[in-house]
Amino acid sequence: MLHLSSKRPDKLTQARIADFPLPGWPLFRLGFRPFYLGAAAFALFAVPYWIAGLLGWLTLPSTMPPLLWHAHEMLYGFAVAVIVGFLLTAGKAWTGLATPRGATLAALAGLWLAARLAALGAPYAVYALLDMALLPWVALVLARVLLKAGNRRNLPLAAILLLLATANLGFHAAVLGWLNIDPLRALHAGLALIVMIECVIAGRVIPAFTMSALPGRQLKVPTGLERSTLAVTAVSLAAWVLLPANPATAAGLALAALLHTARLWHWQPWRTRARPILWVLHAAYAWLPVGFGLLAWAQVGGVAASAGIHALAVGATAGLIIGMITRTARGHTGRALKVSRLEVAAYLLVAGAAITRVLLPWVAPAHTANGLVLAASAWAIAFALYLWVFTPWLLSSRLDGKDG
């Protein structure tokens, strides 16, 4: 768990800080800074760009089929950037050991950016090599600090990063014709692994953050429920990725939806309604059972799989991301854990984008194009608001004078 302080330094402390400036650019002092900034900027660009191309308003990159570009870049461009930034920051908090900073962190961020630019027109082999290099590097860095500190509890996260890298390798091999699988199946595997990361991290931080803000509350999920939720989720997602649609997979996904609903119920989300920095995480987590339920229904032909995929990718993943990149960036820049109206607006806009993207093509297919434009607009405004508030903070030293 990340420890975040909400106490602001007084003017005397700030004056002393100014007398002893920390070395190096603030942007490259800790992983969350460049990767949160890059992820938000990429989100602002990529989704409107995709919708404009989809509607014929501009030409999408010819590096690969446009749908594959969109799906891959939202996973490995947007979501992975946030995961990397979070884990490089959390790794330091978990172990007390240094994670990449300075030139090394700049190289990691530059590699991520180079891959995003290469996707827009570089030779595919160049793009693939750049894109596949980041995750193994980060996984090895994380594993090294965890092993050095004896922190074996978090080692599975490094393993999941390597599995994400393997799914990415499978995607690029399929696009190049070296592997005889549907590239979308490899991307489904990537989404499933990202969802598993969310399930693990959310199970730690959401109840912890909630108990911290609500003294005296004990939000204990029974051990059996916790273990069965993660196990059923992993097995049912694996079946969804690896097997053709079938009733058994539908049953597993439906059971996962019920277990996640029970897990969320134990966290008492209704008690967070007056605290946006908390309810955004609970609301985003609620999309997990929705997504699993829709995927289960899709297994038996009741709805298009796209509904469940976007419930997980936009509702859960982007919802948790906007909640976490505001909270952790506030804490790690020495600011109060109390969000502004602009941040609350960003939360609501991402939620609105998810509702529009998931429901409108399903309930009003004739208005799908308008719904896509509306969802993309809400999404873009949300991340523009994030950049407006947080860019100056991410480019500046912490208010409390601490390193990071």
Residue pLDDT, tens place only, 27-49: 999 999 999 999 999 999 999 99
Compute the C-alpha angle 168/46/109, nearest 5°. Answer: 60
Task: Tell me the percentage of the chain whose pLDDT exceeds 90.
Answer: 82
Note the pLDDT tens digit of each residue in 305-315. 999 999 999 99
Residue listed under structure tokens 């990767």: 35
Non-local CB neighbours of 78 within 8 Å, separated by 6+ positions: 39, 42, 43, 46, 321
Residue listed under structure tokens 């090294």: 144
3-state secondary structure at position 25:
coil
* pLDDT value for 10: 47
The residue-averaged pLDDT of 14-22 equals: 44
**CA 85 → CA 36, 37, 135, 179, distances in Å?**
6, 10, 12, 31
Task: With a cut of 50, say whether residue 359 has pLDDT above it.
Answer: yes
Neighbours of 12 (CB within 10 A): 8
Residue listed under structure tokens 């980041």: 134
pTM, whole model, 2 decimals? 0.92
Task: With a cut of 90, say whether residue 379 has pLDDT above it.
Answer: yes
Non-local CB neighbours of 398 within 8 Å, separated by 6+ positions: 332, 333, 334, 404
Compute the C-alpha angle 262/266/269, nearest 5°. Answer: 100
Residues in the chain: 404
**CA 370 → CA 51, 142, 366, distances in Å?**
10, 43, 9
Among the listed residues 243, 250, 130, the one whose alpha carbon sits nearest the alpha carbon of residue 185: 243
Note the pLDDT tens digit of each residue in 202-249. 999 999 998 887 777 778 889 999 999 999 999 999 999 999 999 999
Note the pLDDT tens digit of each residue in 269-323. 999 999 999 999 999 999 999 999 999 999 999 999 999 999 999 999 999 999 9
Give the pLDDT band (50/70/90) at residue 7. Answer: very low
Considering the domain delimited by 27-394, tell me its CATH architecture.
Up-down Bundle (1.20)
